[in-house]
């Protein structure tokens, strides 16, 4: 890799793209990019020295040595077409990340859920323990205030995205699989078997001295282990089949603690400043990865308690007059159930506000979504948030989802189409003792921020 190159990112404002752009800036590359609108991430890149254009024009690509694009982009984009006309190499975001990850000791975190939190935990522990990693993460680490950094150490920590198959670009030293579920099947011909085969390939792509770290409590992930040829480490709560286990588990109000064991040996206590059984699993993977990197358990335990989450992962937006507002990226039925369960540990009355994302996901998981809200006291469903260009699927609507939720998990479910309607409704009805939980991969977080601001005022 030649740091004298100019690298141009089409769609530079996304979390994944901006993270790679930031690392390449810090490594000494000249970075330019374009996006449809200015936002916080583009402003941070500009402050770092990037040249960012608003809007896409062919002229902006000229002079670039390399062009990087994301999955959201289509090949008829004027900058992409101009790069091809000028014979400038064009790489997918994952191919650019692979260049960074594969040339050092890559730690790649894959899975249906927990990628951002697990990779953020690993990055923070390594930072706290003086390892100075490079990290490229799909969400901002709250303690650090950024989602990426070019470190001087030998480790590169990154998320490995299965949604479009791009995780197969990576040949990491450590490959973590947190769990496997039937999501993003539109990219696998609707065939869960093809998605599972991709995970097997990922786990078989470790470096020769590498290890796959796999959650053995996830039935699907465990079922694939006989197909993995290299070294495997498993973790879970059930001692019968896991190399690392957790005992003495306490799940409290925005905290978790447990004893970590390796085989019959007790390593010590892990305490977290974030809630939920799912974060127990995320932290176990992070601890194992850091142990493999040579960090003593005692140092890991001291560092991990300082982790206060990643942006949009059970993020506390405000607490006023005994009303708590929390936002989470949960956009899959399993994530919704886990997030509501973590919220219940606060002892508050849960008002769950969910914005479905994508007609395809809603179509494939309609029944599972309908069964995910049983622990909420109230449920509000907004209209489906769909990316530009996605076609509506007949019969797949939020009104239909609400009808099924009422039948299958929560009779209180209501459909409020817009963010404005949700905010007005919440303002009228919330009371001390309530917890408002906004969930979804779209822009529902704006309701949470607006509500938190109004509660402060």
First to last CA, the chain: 51
Q: Could you tell me if 206 and 105 are in contact, meaning their C-beta atoms sit under 8 angstroms apart?
A: no
The whole-angstrom separation of Cα 282 and Cα 215 is 9
Q: Could you tell me if 243 and 214 are in contact, meaning their C-beta atoms sit under 8 angstroms apart?
A: no
Tell me, yes or no, if 116 is annotated catalytic.
yes
The whole-angstrom separation of Cα 177 and Cα 168 is 13
What lies within 8 Å, CB to CB, of 245 at 6+ separation is: 235, 236, 237, 238, 239, 260, 261
At residue 389, the 3 state secondary structure works out as: coil
Residue 52 DSSP label: E
- Considering 140, 159, 162, 181, which one is annotated as catalytic? 159
The whole-angstrom separation of Cα 103 and Cα 319 is 45
- Considering 115, 149, 311, 344, which one is annotated as catalytic? 115
Tell me, yes or no, if 140 is annotated catalytic.
no
Closest CA to 256 of 238, 237, 283, 274: 274
Backbone phi, psi, residue 430, to 5°? -70, 150
Interhelix angle 419-429/445-456, rounded to 10 degrees, is 40
Q: Could you tell me if 97 and 18 are in contact, meaning their C-beta atoms sit under 8 angstroms apart?
A: no
Q: What is the DSSP string of 391-414?
A: PP-TT--HHHHHHHHHHHT-TT-E
- Considering 116, 117, 118, 211, which one is annotated as catalytic? 116
What lies within 8 Å, CB to CB, of 16 at 6+ separation is: 70, 93, 97, 136, 138, 159, 161
Residue 273 DSSP label: S
- The 10 Å Cβ neighbour count of residue 49 is 11
Residue 390 DSSP label: P
- The 10 Å Cβ neighbour count of residue 28 is 12
The owner of tokens 């769990």 is: 179
Read off the tokens for 291.
Answer: 């142990």
For the annotated catalytic residues, the residue numbers are 115-116, 159
């Amino acid at each position: 890799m030649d740091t004298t190159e100019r690298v141009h990112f089409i769609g530079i404002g996304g979390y994944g793209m901006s993270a790679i752009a930031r690392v390449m800036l810090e490594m000494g590359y000249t970075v330019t990019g374009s996006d449809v609108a200015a936002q916080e991430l583009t402003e941070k890149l500009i402050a770092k020295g990037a040249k960012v254009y608003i809007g896409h024009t062919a002229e902006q690509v000229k002079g670039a040595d390399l062009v990087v694009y994301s999955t959201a982009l289509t090949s008829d984009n004027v900058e992409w077409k101009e790069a091809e006309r000028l014979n400038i190499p064009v790489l997918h975001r994952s191919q650019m990340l692979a260049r960074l990850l594969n040339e050092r000791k890559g730690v790649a975190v894959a899975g249906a859920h927990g990628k951002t939190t697990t990779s953020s935990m690993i990055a923070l522990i390594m930072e706290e323990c003086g390892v100075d990693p490079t990290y490229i993460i799909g969400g901002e680490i709250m303690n650090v205030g950024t989602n990426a950094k070019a470190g001087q150490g030998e480790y590169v920590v990154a998320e490995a995205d299965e949604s479009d198959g791009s995780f197969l670009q990576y040949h990491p030293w450590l490959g973590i699989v947190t769990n496997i579920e039937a999501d993003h099947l539109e990219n696998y011909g609707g065939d869960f078997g093809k998605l599972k085969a991709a995970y097997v390939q990922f786990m078989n792509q470790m470096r020769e001295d590498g290890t796959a770290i796999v959650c053995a409590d996830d039935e699907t992930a465990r079922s694939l282990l006989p197909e993995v040829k290299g070294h495997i480490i498993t973790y879970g709560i059930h001692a019968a089949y896991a190399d690392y286990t957790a005992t003495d588990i306490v799940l409290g109000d925005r905290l978790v603690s447990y004893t970590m064991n390796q085989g019959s040996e007790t390593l010590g206590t892990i305490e977290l400043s974030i809630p939920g059984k799912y974060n127990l699993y995320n932290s176990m993977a992070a601890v194992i990865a850091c142990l493999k990197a040579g960090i003593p358990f005692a140092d890991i335990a001291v560092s991990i308690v300082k982790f206060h989450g990643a942006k949009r992962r059970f993020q506390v937006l405000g607490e006023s007059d005994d009303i708590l507002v929390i936002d989470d990226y949960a956009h899959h039925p399993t994530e919704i159930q886990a997030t509501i369960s973590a919220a219940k540990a606060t002892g508050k009355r849960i008002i769950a506000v969910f914005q479905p994302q994508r007609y395809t996901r809603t179509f494939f998981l309609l029944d599972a979504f309908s069964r995910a809200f049983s622990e909420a006291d109230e449920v509000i469903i907004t209209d489906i948030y769909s990316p530009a260009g996605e076609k509506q699927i007949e019969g797949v609507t939020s009104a239909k989802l609400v009808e099924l939720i009422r039948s299958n998990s929560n009779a209180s479910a209501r459909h409020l189409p817009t963010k404005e309607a949700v905010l007005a409704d919440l303002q009228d009805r919330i009371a001390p003792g309530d917890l408002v939980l906004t969930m979804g991969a779209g822009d529902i977080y704006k309701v949470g921020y607006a509500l938190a601001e109004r509660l402060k005022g």
